[in-house]
Amino acid sequence: MLAWRHLWSGRARALATILGVALGVAVFTAVRLASESTLESFRRSLDVVAGRATLQVSAGEPGFDERLYLKVKGASGVRQAAPVIQAVAPMAGGQGEAVLVLGVDLLAEEAFRDHRLAGLPAGEDPLQVIIRPDTIFVTRGFAEEHGLGVGSDLVLSVGPEARRFVIRGLLEPAGAARAFEGNVVLMDIATAQEAFGKVGRLDRIDLISEPATDLRALRARLAALLPPNVEVERPDRRNAQVDKMLRAFRLNLTALSAIALVVSLFLIYNAVSLSVVRRRREIGILRSLGVTRREVWALFAAEAVAAGLLGSLAGLGLGIVLAKGALQAVAGTVSELYAYLKVTSLALDPLTLVTSLALGMVTALAAALFPAWRASTIHPRQAMEVGGYERRAGSSYWRLAALGGLLLVGAYAASLQPPVADLPLYGYLAVLLLIGGVSLLVPLAAVSLTWLARPLLTRWLRAEGLLAVSNLRNHLGRNAVAVGAMMTALAMLVGLAVMVTSFRSTVELWVEETMRADLIVSPAARFTRGAAARLPAVEPFRVVRLSYRGDPIVLGSGDFTVVARFGILLFKGADGPTILAETKRREGVVVSESFALRYGVGPGSRLELPTPAGTVTFPVLGVFYDYTTEGGKVVMDRALYLRYWQDRDVTALVVYLRPGVDARAARARILAATGGGQELMIITNRDLKARVLQIFDNTFAITYALELIAMLVAALAVFHTLWASVLERRREIGILRAVGTSRPQVLRMVVNEAGLLGLLAGAIGVVAGLCLSLILIYVINKQSFGWTIQFRFPPSVLVEAAALMLLTSLVAGLLPARRAASMNLAEVLQYEG
């Protein structure tokens, strides 16, 4: 009760603290809810599409020969088997919206998935309806959302063609119809094979095993029947792959969201420290009356936990609101970088809500531990002295600086450690140690600044400047914490800005060096067999997703003679044309940098890849830079790919025009060659580069929003410090007014203090941010994604960030300054009198 009473008595200051905690918890909650909702949507779609299958047979994107179906169905231990064609097809003119297409055999489906059909004409047999070549079923929700019904046409982009289908039935929201938030299209498997150019091939076979069958033994028997490139896995293995695919992305986003919480920690620390200073006489009286040190400690700790509880509860509500906005940003990034995903509903994960609530309270308690302990050790006599605690708190800056130096050494040591389970855990530790170490250097930096700034400010700002410098030095403890909060926010802002600027510069260079084609021709979905053959004088390129050691990777193929001539790949420390010529001659492969780091391969290594013709060992001849996938990429000559995969489909066509040829005329000829009216995307070189950079900018857009919130929390720390400082110095301000100091001079004095805090935080934050950017670039990014980023020093970003911090601190100091200037002279002279 005493803690709540003190919060209420100082409700203006408590409100700033509670708001800071609320913002920190809100950011963490919003990011966690958005990322968990995205992951849950992935999992739910996989689960409902898998249905009651106990095992799944698949071979990545190229699929496999449908004749394997009879082998699998007849294997001992297999009770039911169902063939499946599965694809994502964009809606023609749907502005990026896509549907999940399931091509199934309804006769085999009943045991696996519940398809509740509706809207069929009375007496019609669903089997007879679905086998019509242009027939599809869509979910009721999808039809209502798009104004469709039974008998309506739906045009899908299938390969380079806009193909028209007729809706002849609706699916109730059950089973697989709940995948993709209801954006599901069901068609007969023969129709799907023909439409997607997979005649004679399957994407997957779902299996139900006999009761009491040992699944491990069944998998082994099936593996013996199937080619090496065909895998037999439990459906939950797909969930594990999704978790692993998104793990680094989600972890980095979560770590970033914790920035505001870290800044809140400074705010709470400062609030408790100021509460100790304000109530030093109360502490002395309580100690004199027999209150123990433990009870004094518990008093202040309870006050911090109470503020943490209120802030956390408010943060949960605000976080849910923010999560609804962040959901589409996170889902959009996942769709751009990993796989198309539609997420429309926010999942209120109870574990995330409880974790956020607990984290806010634990942060509050952790921040209060040291100042509460300091309060419990104050001697009653010292507690009665004005400013005694401040002198004590500000006299140990050399010891703090020494400890800060040790933390910085620890940060450097942690940054040199390898990843743990492919995650940069030591990198995150290095960031925490860096922030902690630099924060402990703040008091020494503040003392140095007062020594350097005193003569300059006295000359330029006269008495107001001198008083501001003196107050910074005299109240070093509280001011150092405020600077620490601002420094942390600015360091994160600068670190991310430098990392993003360096990354963008690297990607721009990579784009310029590798994307030299005049036109890129790609279908809205993909080219079907034979469609590419109608386009003369172009080079086809094929990209498929495969599984390697249980992880998804990308396999690419193209004519290495063309690749060498036009420099499509940028190699690490080697001549590209020479490597490609040697790779083609030796029938080898080249791998991306991320693949090389993740699997420990490089020039001279040998790589075993499962192919339809059996497991083949390819020599690795080179490592190239690639920023399109974090899972890794393997590229081989197209002739070699055709030999082993016998897959003549084409993902994209690169067109190199002769000098003087008009790109628009070439585009028209390409459309004419394909018959026109098809869903082809023909992108010019300039548009493609702009699109790549747009995706890059969209990916990092959410980070800027998080950083602005962290800056807002830091501004609250400045406001809190200066407001408390003004209240604590009523008598001092009254004396200054009594000896002739004007209201404008008092206002300028407090604003100058705010400016000094911002200047100090700006200087330290920029240096800390540069150090942080090195950890982000060379440790966290490298270990998370395997990408090399060329460090770029952006002077303009640093100047803008420091100026933003100075402006933020000045704005945050205006209200306390106005409060100080408006104090009634008679009242303040009576204070403590």
Q: Are 621 and 588 within 8 A, CB to CB?
A: yes
Count of Cβ atoms closer than 10 Å to residue 570 Cβ: 15
pLDDT tens-digit series, residues 367-400: 888 878 877 777 666 655 555 445 554 457 788 8
With cut-offs at 50, 70 and 90, classify the pLDDT of residue 747.
Answer: confident
Q: Which range has highest mean pLDDT (540-554, 592-606, 746-760)?
A: 592-606
Nearest to 137 by CA among 188, 181, 180: 188
- b/e burial code for range 189-209 (CB count within 10 A of at least 16 → b): bebbbbbbbbeebbbbbbbbb
User: Which of 298-302, 446-450, 455-459 has the weakest average pLDDT?
Assistant: 455-459
pLDDT for position 528: 47
Which token pair is 643?
Answer: 């030999």
Give the C-alpha separation, 271 to 583, whole Å: 65
Q: What pLDDT, on a 0 to 100 scale, did the predictor assign at position 1?
A: 54
- Taking residues 541-547, what's their average pLDDT? 85
Q: How far is CA 284 from CA 384, 474, 730, in A?
A: 6, 22, 21
Task: Extract the tokens encoding 69.
Answer: 């179906």
Query: How far is it, in rounded angstroms, from Cα 579 to Cα 584?
Result: 9
Q: Where are the domains of the chain?
A: 1-54+246-389, 55-233, 442-512+694-833, 526-678
Residue where the block lists tokens 């992880």: 551
Calpha distance 492→262 (Å, rounded): 11
Nearest to 504 by CA among 306, 795, 252, 700: 700
In the predicted model, what is the mean pLDDT of residues 575-594? 92
Phi, psi of 207, rounded to the nearest 5 degrees:
-125, 145
Least confident of 205-209, 420-424, 466-470, 813-817: 466-470
Percent of the chain with pLDDT over 90: 24
pLDDT of residue 524: 46
Q: 540 forms bridges with which residues in the sheet?
A: 653
Query: What is the predicted pLDDT for the residue at 64?
Result: 92
395 sits in which H/E element:
none
Residue bearing the bigger pLDDT, 689 or 567: 689
Least confident of 98-112, 154-168, 388-402, 745-759: 388-402
Question: Can you tell me the mean pLDDT for 145-173?
Answer: 87
Asked which of 141-145, 273-277, 430-434, 621-625 is least confident by mean pLDDT, the reply is 273-277
Identify which has the larger pLDDT, 200 or 666.
Answer: 200
Residue of higher predicted confidence among 16 and 48: 48
- Please compute the mean of the pLDDT values over residues 253-275 and round it to a whole number: 75
| 116-153 pLDDT per residue, tens | 888 776 667 777 788 888 899 999 999 998 899 988 99
The tokens describing 28, both together, are 């963490």
Average pLDDT, the chain: 81
Largest CA distance in the chain: 102
- For the ranges 185-199, 209-223, 322-336, which has the lowest average pLDDT? 322-336
Lowest mean pLDDT among 490-504, 689-703, 705-719, 788-802: 705-719
Write down the pLDDT at residue 381: 64
Q: Which of 162-176, 223-237, 407-421, 739-753 has the highest mean pLDDT?
A: 407-421
- The answer, yes or no, to whether residue 221 has pLDDT greater than 80, is yes
Q: What is the mean pLDDT of residues 795-799?
A: 82
For the stretch 27-68, pLDDT in tens is 889 888 888 888 888 778 888 888 899 999 998 888 899 999
What is the mean predicted confidence (pLDDT) over 714-728? 72
Is the pLDDT reported for residue 486 higher than 60? yes
What pTM was computed for the model? 0.77
Judge whether residue 719 has pLDDT over 80: no
In the structure, what pLDDT confidence band is assigned to residue 529 with cuts at 50, 70 and 90?
A: very low
Mean of the pLDDT values across residues 611-639? Answer: 90
Query: Stretch 657-664: mean pLDDT, rounded?
Result: 75
* pLDDT at 13 (0 to 100): 67
Place of tokens 């100790």: 276
Residue whose entry in the numeric block shows the structure tokens 């040998």: 606
Among 403, 366, 357, 478, which residue's Cα sits nearest to residue 726?
478
DSSP 132: S
Lowest mean pLDDT among 79-88, 171-180, 241-250, 579-588: 241-250
Question: Rounded to an integer, what distance in angstroms lies between the CA atom of residue 498 and that of residue 501?
Answer: 5
Is the confidence at residue 281, as pLDDT, over 80? no
Q: What is the DSSP string of 22-50?
A: HHHHHHHHHHHHHHHHHHHHHHHHHHHHH
Q: Tell me, what's the pLDDT at 537?
A: 47
Place of tokens 């806010």: 360
pLDDT score, position 676: 52
Q: Taking residues 1-13, report their average pLDDT.
A: 60
